[in-house]
Chains A and B, each alone.
Chain A
Amino acid sequence: DSGVTQTPKHLITATGQRVTLRCSPRSGDLSVYWYQQSLDQGLQFLIQYYNGEERAKGNILERFSAQQFPDLHSELNLSSLELGDSALYFCASSVVGQGSLTDTQYFGPGTRLTVL
Chain B
Amino acid sequence: DAKTTQPPSMDCAEGRAANLPCNHSTISGNEYVYWYRQIHSQGPQYIIHGLKNNETNEMASLIITEDRKSSTLILPHATLRDTAVYYCIAVLRSNDYKLSFGAGTTVTVRA
Considering the chains assembled together, what is the distance between the CA atoms of A104 and B49 in angstroms?
9
Q: Chain A interface secondary structure, helix, strand, loop or mixed?
A: strand
Contact, CB under 8 Å: A107 / B101: no
Residue B102 interfacial (CB < 8 Å): yes
A46 CB → nearest B CB, Å: 9
Contact, CB under 8 Å: A90 / B44: yes
* Chain A residues whose C-beta falls within 8 Å of the C-beta of B32 in the assembled complex: 102
A87 CB → nearest B CB, Å: 11
A48 CB → nearest B CB, Å: 6
Contact, CB under 8 Å: B42 / A110: yes
Contact, CB under 8 Å: B95 / A2: no
Interface segment, one of A67-75, A76-84, A93-101: A93-101
Contact, CB under 8 Å: A2 / B97: no
Considering the chains assembled together, what is the distance between the CA atoms of A33 and B91 in angstroms?
15
* Chain A residues whose C-beta falls within 8 Å of the C-beta of B94 in the assembled complex: 102
Q: How many residues of A contact B (CB 8 A)?
A: 31
Considering the chains assembled together, what is the distance between the CA atoms of A7 and B1 in angstroms?
31
B90-102: CB near A (< 8 Å → 1, else 0) gives 0111111111111
Considering the chains assembled together, what is the distance between the CA atoms of A105 and B97 in angstroms?
9
Q: How many residues of B contact A (CB 8 A)?
A: 22
Contact, CB under 8 Å: B93 / A101: yes
Contact of B95 among A33, A100, A112 (CB under 8 A): A100
* Chain B residues whose C-beta falls within 8 Å of the C-beta of A108 in the assembled complex: 43
B 35-73 contacts with A by CB, 8 A: 41-46, 49
Residue B103 interfacial (CB < 8 Å): yes
State whether A45 and B42 are in contact (beta carbons under 8 Å apart), knowing that A101-B93, A102-B91, A104-B49 are contacts in the complex.
Answer: no
* 13 pairs, A vs B, C-beta closer than 8 Å: A33-B99, A35-B99, A42-B102, A43-B99, A56-B98, A58-B98, A90-B43, A98-B95, A102-B32, A104-B34, A104-B49, A109-B42, A110-B42
